[in-house]
A and B are shown apart, each in its own frame.
Chain A
Amino acid sequence: MSSAHQADPGAAPSAEAPDPSGPSGPVPIIDGLPPGPRERLLGLVTRRELDPGATFMHEGDVTKSMSIIVRGRVALRLRVPERGAVTILTLDPGDIVGWSAIVPPYRATTSATTLEPTELATLPADDLRAILASDNEVAGAFLPRVMETIAARVEATRDQLLDLFRGAEVDPW
């Protein structure tokens, strides 16, 4: 729908985050860091293009990388034997997948599956942990952004726990 908005002469510039210009386009989050940390982290980045339906992280496995979604949409899913796979959150461009790459015990807490053609900017877990341990400037710039992600997930999870849209248990009408 972003293209639709661009077609509307009265509208503001695209209401949607812009599509990247290509594999060499900016990487969300990292692109907003100060020049030093930005360049050093970009040096670790590998770009990946995935088709819809690709599961690139498996719940319970050792997390081999952290990714930032550049384009597309990713579902985080949990295995519930009686229900099958349950999607508990979907992620959009600018979101982080695989924060467990830097948090012990370094095991994925969900599976991650693409829902659309998706481009990821991927940081290998070993390299990322090493630079965060050795480069205080990178750690100081990057870790707060990861914390934001985890905090937002916790907050959203609480609201989902409330199940606000559930039907009433007691109702006067």
Chain B
Amino acid sequence: MVMGSGGALATTPPRFLPRERFDELLASLGTGGRRVVGPTISDGAIVFADLASAAALPAGLTLETSPGRARLERLPDGPGRVRTFQYTVSGEGIKRFTFPSRVDALSMETADDGSVRVRVEAPAEPVPLAIVGARACDLAALAVHNRVLLDGPAVDPDYAARRRDLITVAVECALASSTCFCASMGTGPEVTTGADLVLNELDDGFVVRAPTSAGERVLAAIDGLAPAAADRTVVAAAQTAAARAAMGTSAVPAKPRDLLLANLDHPRWDAVAERCIACANCTLACPTCFCTGLEVQSGFDAAASSATRAWDSCFTEGFAQIAGGSFRPRHRDRYRQWLTHKFATWWDQFGTSGCIGCGRCIAWCPVGIDVREELAAIAAAPTATPSPIAAATTGIVALPALAPDPLQFTPARVVAVTPETADTTTLRLATGDPRILAGTPGQFVMVGVPAFAIPPISISRFHPDGIELTIRAAGAATSFLTRLRTGATLGLRGPLGRGWPVADAQGRDVVIVGGGIGLAPLRPVIDAVLRERDRFEDVRIYLGARTPRDRLFVDEIDALASRDDVLVRVTVDRAGPEWLGRVGIVTQLFKTVRGTGADATAFICGPERMMSATADVLGDLGVPRERTWLTLERHMECGVGLCGHCQLGTRFVCRDGPVFSIAELGEDLRREGL
């Protein structure tokens, strides 16, 4: 029952529901135990809650909103004082009924035999639901969530379950608040999609339309509803038209996507950051924001834990945090991320705007930042002309097919532990799961053990019966993983992401550049190339490490260096006198080597600054940008493009990458705070 219950219906004439019979509508909706929610008054605000009768509706009230302000006010005296929907958007909207702020996600426990079990919570079987009083913008937001959470490569099972049996009773707005701009976003005030019933409130009752068969069934259960008289439908339409006129249709500049993407360095971002306090209110009030994070709760013995999926916000400090730091340390970065996601990159990711024009972010911003004003300021003095940026597409690359059930964990057992350095360990894991074994170089897995966050770890080697993970102890979870012993079990989810295009390098020189732990994701590339060595031309491997003691896979690399058909160069950042190898940064290794050029394919992994500098040097040597590949690290929680953390411009690094070519990344690789 996604988007309307029973499909479109041949239009039936609008009926008239007298005000005193509204409870009959609620009763009809509640047939068969269906839960009915609608707007009520709570704590001085309009809040959607269980609606037992029309008496609970906000009669005689309206909601005055302006930037940084939302107040309930009494309707003026007169016949309209009886109205119950004479306001626009409530503070929180209807999102929490289809996308609750917290849902059970996982449970993890260690059994008596020491084995670890990770169970993905099945979505609770939701009670059939009817939502009364949704506005056009609310339904547009639901449609956006359908695109994000149902139509992508991965489906959010909890959302899918909650949407399965939902009846929506929409109300067409008869007025507009100063913060409303749905008419500019093409989402309202007329209700054109997503509603099973549409109400227009008049003083003495409601004009009711039933665009779907489910809506028609609800009306059919109410005895003797007469068709709405023409004068009533005319008044209803005039009210909606007045709301549209009050808003105007030019609250946002034309083509905001192109405007914003061309002005990512506009001084306005600094100006708005002076006011933004990064409180995240806008993202919590926004009906389309979908970013979530996993919160793990555990007892003291750490034997069992559960994880809750909770709303998260790109305004929080930890949202873009990885081991090396945060990619968006400044408020400027976070505000730009939010606004450009809503109005620009959402188009690239999902083929639709992320903003539906409800204005909640304006009213609920404690400092009164108005997105319309921010867009207008950039449009009024763009620092770069909106250029013919490539048309928005869903996804920038052909997305790899996800393994079946990409959210399910599979057990794996530690069969060997190899300490690599003081803080880095390689775990060899045995698993019979064909999904894991079918992984490709550059892909990663999410690794679950009780009581810890679930980190993404690149696969550092494939075996016929399992994989290897090379893990550096950086935080609590990775420290725990590096201390696991043979026989321990853990949960794996994946393989995830788009890996290295090793096959495309056949017939060419191969240049592999790794820095620090960055060698781990490259090791399967080296394996794959050496397995079919004669299909590749020159193979050159350049490796950097912090000190000689921090080198990974030392014996393997030494063995490679002794081969006739592979060139290996190693450098370290600093060393004592006992080290007779090279000292310096990895890019200096290239100066002693000739012949790396237009025929090469390069694979790079390391800290982002190192990769960027390496790509520059390789570019100078003639390696094409289209064949210079690197793998990005971003904060990842879901690995399938649903949690929102790993965005880089138009991309989800987990889903569209983590491997990208320099040509694909363009300027985004160097843009600070993206």
Contact = CB atoms under 8 A, between A and B. Distances in A.
Contact of A93 (B581, B592, B635): B592
A156 interface: yes
Interface residues of A, number: 46
Interface residues of B, number: 63
B565 A173 contact: no
A162 B586 CA distance: 14
B550 A88 contact: no
Given A17-B594, A92-B592, A165 B579 contact: no
A101 B453 CA distance: 56
B577 A87 contact: yes
B35 interface: no
Given A4-B565, A11-B538, A75-B583, A165 B455 contact: no
Contacts of A162: 609
B576 A86 contact: yes
A130 interface: no
Given A159-B613, A168-B474, A173-B474, A13 B323 contact: no
A163 B515 CA distance: 11
Interface string A58-97: 0000000000000001010100000111111110111000
B453 A172 contact: yes
Given A88-B574, A115-B580, A164 B591 contact: no
Nearest to A6: B564
11 contacts: A15-B567, A88-B574, A88-B583, A92-B592, A113-B577, A156-B587, A162-B609, A164-B609, A165-B516, A171-B474, A172-B322
Given A5-B567, A165-B546, A172 B318 contact: yes
Interface string B41-80: 0000000000000000000000000000000000000000
B594 A15 contact: yes
A133 interface: no
A75 B581 CA distance: 9
Interface in B81-131: none
B420 to A, nearest CB: 13
Interface string A83-125: 1111111101110000000000000000001011000000000
Contact of B475 (A15, A84, A173): A173
A12 B563 CA distance: 17
Contacts of B594: 12-17
Nearest to B571: A90
Given A12-B509, A15-B594, A92-B591, 8 more contacts: A4-B565, A5-B538, A5-B567, A85-B577, A90-B583, A159-B609, A168-B322, A172-B322
B453 A173 contact: yes
B530 interface: no
A166 B563 CA distance: 30
B573 interface: yes
